[in-house]
Amino acid sequence: MQPGILTRRGFMMGGAGAATVALTGCSATTAEKERPAVVPVESPALATIYGPVPEEQFPLPAIPYQKISKRFHRQMVSDPTGERPGTLVVDTANYYLYLTYEGAQAMRYGVGLGRQGFEWSGQGVIQYKRQWPRWTPPDEMVARQPELVPYSIANGGMAPGLKNPLGARALYIFKNGEDTLYRIHGSPEWNSIGKSVSSGCVRMINQDVVDLYGRVPDKAPIVVTSLPRLSAV
């Protein structure tokens, strides 16, 4: 990967218009990769991390963390990225998102990624963040899916809430001052973590994206890359 380059394989496969439709939508599709069997984990700490969050604008329900592979649970780990502290790194090979810290440490989160054909890589910045964002599918997507007309740009998009595809928080990725159309965002579909399901965006458990939101400032650098594959433990 060359520094400073952000690529969209979707543009190459179907043209800029088709890719823009899918990417901006950040909608779910059928998972394309089967993940290893989940080993149930019981933990009071995880029960707190992934417990209900009643103080949110839209109270978040508890997440059944026992059904999620333990490697995708939020945790501080040794930093494998080599990036400077304060950098977000999306590892597409292992379905991880890292936030790097001093002392060669990183907070690691499990994520869901774009399905084949909408994978991407490169560098950018988190231009801005939003709590409980609105979702506005582009007109091209609405034309293909008439059931989305109530949520069109003309109609103001989908109001924030637990069913909104962008979840509790969204971080907007820009490159050279331009919107890449990629987002890091929450999702109520916790079972999509560790899978290729979304249309190019990086999706997280809502509790995790709320945690990340509080740690990452605007203009934080982000690198999307593929690190060496790790054992599925």
Which 3 state secondary structure label does DSSP give 220? coil
| CB contact at 8 A, 172 and 181 | no
Q: What tens digit of pLDDT does each residue of 10-64 get? A: 322 333 333 333 445 676 444 445 555 555 667 899 999 999 999 999 999 999 9
What mean pLDDT value characterizes the chain?
A: 84
Q: What tens digit of pLDDT does each residue of 91-102 get? A: 999 999 999 999
Catalytic residue selected from 111, 201, 212, 222? 201
Per-residue model confidence (pLDDT) at position 43: 86
73 is catalytic: no
**Model pTM greater than 0.85?**
no
Amino acid at site 56 = E
C-alpha count within 13 angstroms, C-beta hemisphere, residue 36: 12
Domains and CATH numbers, the chain: 57-225 (2.40.440.10)
Catalytic residue selected from 8, 73, 183, 185? 185
Residue positions counted in the chain: 233
Q: CA-CA distance, 121 to 225, in Å (whole number)?
A: 5
Q: CA-CA distance, 162 to 111, in Å (whole number)?
A: 18
Which 3 state secondary structure label does DSSP give 17? helix
